[in-house]
Amino acid sequence: MSTQENATTGNTTSTAAANPLLDFSDLPRFDAIRPEHITEAIATLLAENRAMVARLESPQSQVTWESFVEPLEDATERLGRAWGIVGHLNAVVDTPPLRAAYNENLPKVTEFWTALGQNLALYAKYKALKDSPQFMQMSPARQRIVDNAMRDFRLGGAELSDAQKPRFAEIQEQQAALSTRFSENVLDATNAYALLVEDEARLAGLPDDVKAAAHASAEAEGKPGFRFTLQFPSYFPLLQYADDRELRQTIYRASTTKASELGANPEWDNTGNIDAMLKLRDEEARLLGYRNFAEVSLVPKMAQTPDEVIAFLKDLAQRARPHAEKDLTELRDFARGTLGLDPLEAWDVSYASEKLREQRYAFSEQEVKQYFPEPKVIGGLFRLIQELFKVSIKPDTAPVWHPDVQFFRIEREGALIGQFYLDLYARTGKRGGAWMDDARGRRNRAGRLQTPVAYLTCNFTAPAVVDGIARPALLTHDDVITLFHEFGHGLHHMLTQVEELGVSGISGVEWDAVELPSQFMENFCWEWEVVEHMTAHADTGAPLPRGLFDKMIAAKNFQSGLQTLRQVEFSLFDMHLHHDHALQADGTVQQVIDRIRREVAVLIPPSFNRFQNAFSHIFAGGYAAGYYSYKWAEVLSADAYGAFEEAAANGHVLGGAVGQRFLDEILSVGGSRPAIDSFKAFRGREPTIDALLRHSGMAA
């Protein structure tokens, strides 16, 4: 085994053969990991970590990086990697035994991390290290790790009184359990629902590949006809294409009431979980000396105060509103005059929008989709990355958790720099949405380089058999954008050159800047010299015609005003929920989102809409009081991409030194310095909102 691939194994090596979760010698052994391994592995690692903590609590004549930080990192990294594998499996191949083992061990793991964050002896040693002569001799990356650790100890309750700490620990455990329960309820409600349509005539307007997938789903369940679920690739085409209005209404209601009191099963209602989480977050904030949880959330972020975030969002709403009002007026007029839909209902919006797009720009999303078979898109994405950042991406082998999962390696000049798993298709037991997560980070320990590994997960429609012919998965252009987005996160993690675990890759990056590389990558989906290399018609193999691409460009900002206001609505709801709501006795979460919609939205959903009950980003995904990050970082990403546009005036968008500079100043440095410093090093100035407005078609 090469020293590049070998990780520090510690004293768990002897039991690794018996328990694959304790084997840190290389990649996770997904082919061998079973639910029954989890409790034993976590118990072993928690015992190992507690022993290490006890040793490090002892007095030291001199606290150094080598004697204190490194051994603590060694132990906690192993626990983090093992629990990360368990959490990943829980998200992508949920089964009753796996869920039971995860939930059994979640309180134990949470209790350990909470106790670690409150450990005054360790906190004192970080302070001693900060105050020592050695600190000024450390690399900037190590200095930032020490500073971040001290901040996290304060946020972890280390400065609380002994009387307060037990309650703080209870809050952390309860929040972890509620977050997991929230996610499980969304998954269970999604998995349990099925809409069976036996009369094919009711599916008029639906594309053939969508019908084929629905028919295959019904066959797999031993049912006649066509089966639709609440997984996005299954239900959204009904909203977008089905001529049958009643069908659209049925699936819309099912989707927007899942995991709520209006859903199919009261056991999956997340209303109580949301209320409980908000109360606990508010209590946590007050214990730490803050007025609300939004203030706590912003401590490690770029934005300074909730008021600053709210002002940013309201300014964006004000700029977008005239465009959104125009979008909605056009849509209602078209729906009434051309489609006979009056009034325009929520379940009509996607359908009418697609029809209007087809009429105005003379193409449909379904037409475009035929040119984006998944293997060709993947090849085009890899070609872009290889040209931009001078790396090679090659197929690789590793144990995987599902036959659909692919595995690749990234090399530079023949040397391994990173690897990634690609899990692209929706399936039962897999959490919805798209995300990137790290399997391990880049780290140099005693001259042995550990290279980073990432999970890249999407929920696209799986390949289907149409008329007896196996066809590759076909991606919508929105799917392509999603893939590029998640890969941007992956590049941030895998192309880092920082070798200190706490700030390599995405580690240590401010949450409201972490979307910069992901949203930056989306821009390339609108560049002809990129798109032309990742298209081939599913039937003929012909590339996307330039004329059709030009129509896509013309339609790029179709309804961008409505889309921007929708994101602002979600962001303001999240921020107000954690800033000035805190579940007052006379208010409910529903009343908060209703008030926000009255203030900023132009398209108000029906009263039964329970969007918040499946808003996993803020209740199960780490974005609490941080959903604004998408728009905040979009200012940075659009401005950063502006440098490529400026360079393209003298050549092409992939040429020159701009890609290398983006690699050097943004991707390579990870979290080793403040994100604003990285942006200014790349762009040579502070960010401005101009490029975002221009890209969105909302420039003055």
Could you report the per-residue pLDDT of 471-490, keeping only the tens digit for each? 899 999 999 999 999 999 99
Tracing tokens 């019908």 back to the chain, one arrives at 211
Q: How far apart are the first and last CA of the chain?
A: 58
CB contact at 8 A, 535 and 376? yes
Kindly state the average pLDDT of the residues 22-29.
Answer: 96
Second-level CATH architecture of 270-363+559-627: Orthogonal Bundle (1.10)
Q: How far is CA 524 from CA 482, 521, 641, 655, 670, in A?
A: 12, 6, 9, 13, 22
470 or 133: which leads in pLDDT: 133
Tokens of 518: 């992901």
pLDDT at 17: 65
User: What CA–CA distance (Å, rounded) separates 57 from 60?
Assistant: 9
Percent of the chain past pLDDT 90, that is, above it, reads 92
pLDDT at 582: 52
Kindly state the average pLDDT of the residues 13-41.
Answer: 90
Query: DSSP label at 296?
Result: H
Res 9 pLDDT > 80: no
What angle is formed at CA 570 by the lines to CA 567 and CA 573, rounded to 5 degrees?
Answer: 145
pLDDT at 357: 97
Tracing tokens 């082998």 back to the chain, one arrives at 397
Nearest of 536, 518, 532 to residue 383 by alpha carbon:
532
Half-sphere CA count of 519, side-chain side, radius 13 A:
21
pTM of the predicted structure, to 2 decimals: 0.95
The residue ranges of every structural domain in the chain are 10-117+119-155, 193-267, 270-363+559-627
Give the pairing type, strands 443-445 and 464-466: unpaired
Residue 220: other Cβ atoms inside 10 A: 10
Examine the residue annotation and report whether 486 is marked as an active-site residue of this protein: yes
Q: What is the pLDDT of residues 514-573, one digit of tens each?
A: 999 999 999 999 999 999 999 999 999 999 999 999 999 999 999 999 999 999 999 999
pLDDT at 5: 35
User: What CA–CA distance (Å, rounded) separates 512 from 501?
Assistant: 20
The number of angstroms, rounded, from the C-alpha of 109 to the middle of its chain's C-alpha atoms is: 23
Q: What is the pLDDT of residues 65-124, one digit of tens each?
A: 999 999 999 999 999 999 999 999 999 999 999 999 999 999 999 999 999 999 999 999
Res 2 pLDDT > 70: no
Tracing tokens 């507690």 back to the chain, one arrives at 50
User: What CA–CA distance (Å, rounded) separates 228 from 191?
Assistant: 11
Give the pairing type, strands 448-450 and 464-466: unpaired
**Do 10-117+119-155 and 270-363+559-627 agree at the fold level?**
no
pLDDT at 385: 97
Res 250 pLDDT > 50: yes
Residue 654 — very low, low, confident or very high, per pLDDT cuts 50/70/90?
confident
**How much is the mean pLDDT over the chain?**
95
Percent of the chain past pLDDT 70, that is, above it, reads 97
Residue 449 — very low, low, confident or very high, per pLDDT cuts 50/70/90?
very high
Res 20 pLDDT > 80: yes
| Of 48, 365, 374, 486, catalytic | 486
Res 10 pLDDT > 80: no
User: What CA–CA distance (Å, rounded) separates 634 from 76?
Assistant: 33
CATH number given to 10-117+119-155: 1.20.1050.40
Q: Helix, strand, or coil here: 156?
A: coil
Question: Which distant-in-sequence residues (6+ apart) come within 8 Å of 403 by Cβ?
Answer: none
Residue 572 main-chain phi, psi, to 5 deg:
-65, -40
